[in-house]
Structure 1
Amino acid sequence: MKQIYLVRHGQSTSNAGGKAQPNAQIELTELGQQQVAEVAEWLEETLGDSVDEVHFSRFIRTQQTAQPYINKVGIEPKVIEGLQEFDYLSFKKTNGTTFATRLQMADEYWLRQDPRQADGEDAESFHEFCERVAGVLEHFKSLPDGNHVVFTHGLWMSMLIWQLLGQPCEDNGHLQKFRQFELSIRPRNCEVFLLTLCEGHPPAITKVRTCAPTPSDVHAT
């Protein structure tokens, strides 16, 4: 049996309404640093020495979130390609814009965007995002039995839950329904969900750590 503890990163500068940055380069705020210290303590108390692997995405904020826990357990972390956040707004378009403008751009994206069309050359389509998350789920199934801690992102976690519920990602209607769904269940910064994978049984996921709400930006990043 595999038990995968999915941790959303601490509050980022983007979550706090800071200036637009390339998604991969967004870092944690001072509050975010406090949050990741707390979730590291929680993970240590919950898992003790019973952790086999630690993973994060290639985006800086998940690596910063993982570091206090890595310092405690001394496990060499691994990057999982595909674990990064949905990069749906082109930075070429958001660069230099205000937070209010980016909110409007996000609303327009979810209302009108073709799921198979990206917002720009430096963005990805909704369909590509869906396939990427599905690919990581298959990777999770190939991991050795045991406890795994995975530091990831809000929209990514919401999409995983969407797929575990058997929901489709094919047309504009599905894109809009996913948006409504993720707004209703979006993990807060440093909340933890437990994904259980057991051969012969369907995957199961449940929230195991709840946090107080903090500001969240248009990307849920």
Structure 2
Amino acid sequence: MTVKTRIYLVRHGETAWNAGGKFQGHSDIPLSERGRKQAKALAERLSNLKIDAFYSSDLSRARETAGILAEPHRGTVYYLPELREINFGRWEGLTFKEIAEAYGELSTRWWASPLTIQIPAGESLQQVVDRCTRAVAGIITRHAGETVVVAAHGGVIRVIVGAALGLDLNHFWQLRLDNVSLTVLEYHGPEKAILELFNDTCHLHEK
């Protein structure tokens, strides 16, 4: 019988750079007050579930989100640097428009083929795929048959979902992922996963 592991993937709450449309990457930008309220809304939604472990990227916006989610469960959060957002290098702090204006052809090439194009002083998407795949495999191994919450970043969650479903990750930006959205994957061992929920934000809607 296959042991199932359910992973709740949560994108961190909003930051000032999110609100301003700036690329964050490895820049350690904290949650805004709105981002904290968003995380508390999701924490309330998840408060009655049995959750066996909490993991997070080691960047503060994800760490704080995970801490808010873990609080009702009195859970410990484990930080994994492998779950960091894409390192956008020299693009961090810039908007999409500013990147396109400053990096022209390279920007166009990256959006068309992010798996292989290296961002100046940053990463290619393939490097992100490799580290995220290792992180998820480790979580599945350690928590076989359990339910785990993972607080991470938009690019990271797109990569994890795309890899699980066998998608062409050169198109990963076509997966919309909102702040404090909930995405659920059920793993039947490390090689097979079923997507149960994607980018759900019903906890943010007014009651």
TM-score for both structures, normalised by structure 1:
0.75
Say which is worse superposed, 17-26 or 202-211, in terms of deviation: 17-26
What is the CA-CA distance between 1:209 and the residue it aligns to?
A: 6.5
Unaligned runs of 5+ in 2: none
CA–CA separation in structure 1 for the residues paired with 2:131 and 2:26: 16
Note the alpha carbon deviations across 1:97-126, whole angstroms, 9 max, x for none.
5674146568855521374453233x1112
Which letter maps to 1:44?
A: S
CA–CA separation in structure 1 for the residues paired with 2:69 and 2:140: 24
**For residues 31 and 131 of structure 1, do their structure 2 counterparts lie closer, same or farther at Cα, with a shift above 3 Å needed?**
same
TM-score for both structures, normalised by structure 2:
0.80
Alignment of 1:1-221 (within 5 A): 1-17=4-20, 23-45=26-48, 47=49, 50-87=50-87, 89-91=88-90, 94=92, 100-102=97-99, 104=101, 109=106, 111-113=108-110, 115-121=115-121, 123-144=122-143, 145-168=145-168, 175=170, 178=171, 181-183=172-174, 185-199=175-189, 202-207=192-197, 210-211=200-201
What is the CA-CA distance between 1:168 and the residue it aligns to?
A: 4.4
* Structure 2 match to 1:217: none
CA–CA separation in structure 2 for the residues paired with 1:13 and 1:77: 24
- Secondary structure of the corresponding residue to residue 17 of structure 2: coil
What is the CA-CA distance between 1:94 and the residue it aligns to?
A: 4.7
**For residues 112 and 36 of structure 1, do their structure 2 counterparts lie closer, same or farther at Cα, with a shift above 3 Å needed?**
same
Query: What is the aligned residue count?
Result: 196
How well do the aligned residues superpose, as a CA RMSD in angstroms? 2.9
What is the CA-CA distance between 1:80 and the residue it aligns to?
A: 2.0
- Secondary structure of the corresponding residue to residue 98 of structure 2: helix
Which letter maps to 1:53?
A: A
Q: Is the 8 A contact 1:57 1:152 kept in 2?
A: yes
CA–CA separation in structure 2 for the residues paired with 1:104 and 1:130: 27
**For residues 94 and 68 of structure 1, do their structure 2 counterparts lie closer, same or farther at Cα, with a shift above 3 Å needed?**
closer
CA–CA separation in structure 2 for the residues paired with 1:36 and 1:131: 28
**Among the aligned pairs, what percent are the same residue?**
23
What is the CA-CA distance between 1:17 and the residue it aligns to?
A: 0.7
